[in-house]
Amino acid sequence: MRKKIGNAVALATLFLCCFVALPIRAASLEATEARIVEAVDARREEAITALGELVEINSGTMNPEGIRRVGAYFERELGALGFVTRWIDQPSELERGGHLFAEVDGDRGKRVLLIGHLDTVFEPDSPFQHFRREGDLGYGPGTDDMKGGNLVILFALKALNDAGALDNTRIIVALTGDEENPGKPVAVSRKDLVEAGRRSDIALGFEAGVRDIHTATIARRGASGWTLQVRAKAAHSSQIFDDSNGAGAIFEASRILDAFYSQLRGEQYLTFNPGVILGGTSIDYDSQANRGTAFGKTNVIAETAVVHGDLRFLSEEQKENARETMRAIVALSLPGAEAEISFEDGYPAMFPSQGNHDLLAQFEGVSRDLGFGELEILDPGQRGAADISFVAADVEAGLAGLGPVGWKGHTVDEHIDLTTLSVNAKRVAVLIYRLTR
């Protein structure tokens, strides 16, 4: 169960405590584990070739056909390993691609949920479409986020199978089709993932690693949305600020945003960002497309304004406390104006629980046994939201950031260290082996 922390100081204290104490008992690899490592090495170039082929398939979130093509590759490969696969089309009103789930249902050890996603942020009209290799670096859309991570899943499972260690395991692979821009409501688009989490003991997320192979993620902040709507009295600008007309909608929106900045800024792990603002005599804003238009004249007091933003947090309590403060600020309207704020839940937080800490200790033991050394807990302030957060509260423990190490994700210079494909495939495969004995 996720532990609740009363304030940011206590939250940070728990996180730092997790950072300083990782009891490890190193052990040499047993014979099966050694075969797993050899199997990963034998398939190293195969994995890199597969990455290049998958990157060449555009699978932007709004390109369902491309998402299905990428999914078909993993459906075929996982089916060959004995997984029962199912493609889940999302409801048409969500306007998103489907999900691929695959499962082997044995009777041994922990049930492990492996989480990735098929989509990227690069749509078919992006100029960034192709894969190129420069030595040990691989460039292309989705190399870092997250076709590389999906291949760590696949080639870890192939190594387990090659070593005869996949039989009778209990493993679910969940590859969602809209992680970069989830269909709304998320209660619908993440229904199957949540259900898989409730049946699982351990969750492993394969978004790219950060900085180098010596970091690990036991916490990720959640992300939710907010919309501020302001109405005021339209009048000639020469009459602004008088008792009858007030200050107008744009000044009221500005007051509110300034108060958000003054009262909420600086709390550890809490951020809030007004991503778009429109104001004037009339506005037309499409929140789904994140675009709109505004009309106004300099000699007319603005009648309406809208601000759309996000809120990130490390616990549900932190989120609710921030929302309460924001509501109180909005309620203190300037003369002649009125405002309201609404909130939309998105990604929950992955809290740094004791179970996550213990699982990290086990993973660090694997890393040491393989000769890759110790691990540093990554500050959750350096990570965004991810699908593993939807199951974090329901499993015994979870780890994230298990994909290859990459840089500049979501940019046209996105790339990964290709050597870390095999490094993390080895570590993950041996971890799964130990969890499923």
Q: What is the pLDDT of residues 178-218, one digit of tens each?
A: 999 999 899 999 999 999 999 999 999 999 988 899 999 99
Say yes or no to pLDDT of 45 above 60.
yes
- Among 20-24, 84-88, 108-112, 303-307, which stretch is predicted with the lowest mean pLDDT? 20-24
pLDDT > 70 fraction of the chain, expressed in percent and rounded: 94
Q: Measuring CA to CA, which residue among 226, 273, 271, 262 is closest to residue 380?
A: 271
Quote the pLDDT of residue 27: 52
CB atoms within 10 A of CB 237: 13
Average pLDDT of the chain to the nearest whole number: 93
Q: Using 50, 70 and 90 to split pLDDT, how confident is the model at 26? A: very low
- Average pLDDT of the residues in 97-102: 97
Q: Using 50, 70 and 90 to split pLDDT, how confident is the model at 382? A: confident
Quote the pLDDT of residue 89: 97
Q: What is the largest CA-CA distance in the chain?
A: 84
Say yes or no to pLDDT of 142 above 70.
yes
- Average pLDDT of the residues in 301-326: 97
pTM: 0.87
Q: Is the dihedral of CA 106, 108, 112, 114 positive or negative?
A: negative
- Beta-bridged to residue 342, according to DSSP, are 227
- Average pLDDT of the residues in 233-257: 95
Q: How far apart are CA 280 and CA 301, in angstroms?
A: 8
Q: Using 50, 70 and 90 to split pLDDT, how confident is the model at 289? A: confident
Q: How far apart are CA 263 and CA 1, in angstroms?
A: 31
- Average pLDDT of the residues in 270-298: 93
- Average pLDDT of the residues in 155-162: 98
Quote the pLDDT of residue 385: 83
Q: Using 50, 70 and 90 to split pLDDT, how confident is the model at 24? A: very low
For domain 13-220+350-435, say whether CATH 3.40.630.10 is its number: yes
Domain boundaries, the chain: 13-220+350-435, 223-347
Quote the pLDDT of residue 339: 97
Q: How far apart are CA 9 and CA 242, in angstroms?
A: 44
Q: Which CATH number fits domain 223-347: 3.40.630.10, 3.40.50.2300, 3.40.50.150, 3.30.70.360?
A: 3.30.70.360
Q: Using 50, 70 and 90 to split pLDDT, how confident is the model at 391? A: very high
